[in-house]
Structure 1
Amino acid sequence: MPQKTLSDLSQAMRQIDIAMLSTHAENGAIAGRPMSNNGEVEYTGTSYYFTFEDAHTVGEIEADPQVGLAFQGQKSFQVAVEGRASIIRDKAAMKDHWTPDLEKWFKEGLDTPGVVMIRVDAERVHYWDGEDSGEVKLK
């Protein structure tokens, strides 16, 4: 079977509402939490998620930026991303990724006290789609 491209995956990922972001907790355990996956975004290997500065996630990423993302779609479609995360505090950079539906969590929009953005740059992307599976090369 021909390998899927990043563009193929992006189209399928638009149907997925929630991604699971996994980090390394202070005690070495894996910590996972759901993050909103904005379906309007074209996935290019970089993901953006908003959270609060005081969330455990932020400290865990700053201590160890290696993270995982898991996407579960319909009909056995799944994507696993291994990557490096960083925390963005610059409001101008955040503005490019802000969507109005985020205001249900961040009532004052980008002016919400303590809002930060997590950027995940993929290093490896694996997918499973029924009996089809593979890895998308990013470099």
Structure 2
Amino acid sequence: MSEHSEQPTREESIKTLGGIIKGVKFAMLTVTTDQGHLKAHPMTTQQTEFDGDVWFIGGKDTEQVQCMAARPQVNVSYSDPGKGNYVSIGGTAQLVEDRAKLEELWSDFYKAYFPQGIDDPNIQLIKISAHGAEYWESDGKIKTLFQMARGAVTGKPATDLGKNDTVNL
């Protein structure tokens, strides 16, 4: 994969990341446990415009939320293998109480987790403030697979596997 030579602006990075993660239904949110182990949980991606923050809805009584309260440094990863796109976002978790934001993010899908609906006292808004990310974009499966196969057969490194960049937010 080729490296981006110039560091994009924060706005350009946010736009690029937002474009990649838009439409990805689930993310993996990784926390650090009390024992110091990394533990990832699938979370439903909120359909809001990415502006440097990522929002989730979780349960106050979950290990995941308790871990974020004690150790707020987290990672959120997105994967869209059909398009060959991947994003890893490092950030700081905040546990937020904001009824207006909850109403903005709420859907009846969450009733499966919160039987009392939007008024369930166990609901916890989670805001991840991104401080950096790395992403990978490929031009498509067939081209990428061909490049990888050619590299394996010839013993030469594969070239033009897409774009990889690390950005500071």
User: Which TM-score bucket, shorter chain as reference?
Assistant: 0.7 to 0.9
Does the 8 Å CA contact 1:20/1:71 hold for their aligned counterparts?
Answer: yes
Q: Distance in 2 between matches of 1:104 and 1:93?
A: 20
The structure 1 residue matched to 2:30, chosen from 4, 16, 22, is: 22
Displacement of 1:76 in angstroms is: 1.9
* Amino acid in the other structure paired with 2:163: D
Look up the match of 1:136. Answer: 167
In structure 1, how many angstroms separate the alpha carbons of the residues matched to 2:54 and 2:26?
A: 12
Give distance in 2, aligned partners of 1:96 and 1:21. 21
The residue aligned with 1:55 is 62
- 1:69 deviates by 0.4
Q: Once superposed, which parts of structure 1, at least 4 consecutive aligned residues long, lie more than 4 Å away? A: 1-4
Q: Choose which of 19, 34, 51 in structure 2 pairs with 1:44.
A: 51
- The equivalent of 1:122 in structure 2 is 130
- Which residue, out of 84, 105, 120, partners 1:97? 105
Q: Which amino acid counterpart does residue 130 of structure 2 have in structure 1? A: A
CA shift, 1:113, in A, is 2.7
Is there any run of 5+ residues in structure 1 with no aligned partner, and where?
A: none
State the superposition RMSD in angstroms.
1.9
- Show CA shifts across 1:48-73 (max 9, x none): 11111110011101111000000001
How many residues align? The count is 137
Question: More strand per residue: 1 or 2?
Answer: 1
How far did residue 106 of structure 1 move?
Answer: 2.4
Residue 125 (structure 2) pairs with residue 82 (structure 1): no
Q: What is the identity percentage for the equivalent residue pairs of Structure 1 and Structure 2?
A: 23
- In our comparison, the structure showing a higher alpha carbon Rg is 2
Does the C-alpha gap of structure 1 residues 41 and 92 become closer, same or farther in structure 2, counting only changes over 3 Å?
Answer: closer
Structure 2 distance, partners of 1:93, 1:10, is 19
TM-superposed CA distance for 1:95, in Å, is 2.5
Q: Is the 8 A contact 1:69 1:81 kept in 2?
A: yes
- Structure 2 residue runs without a partner (length 5+): 139-161
Q: TM-score, normalised by structure 2?
A: 0.73
1:20·1:69 contact (CA, 8 Å) conserved in 2?
yes
Q: Secondary structure at the match of 1:113?
A: coil
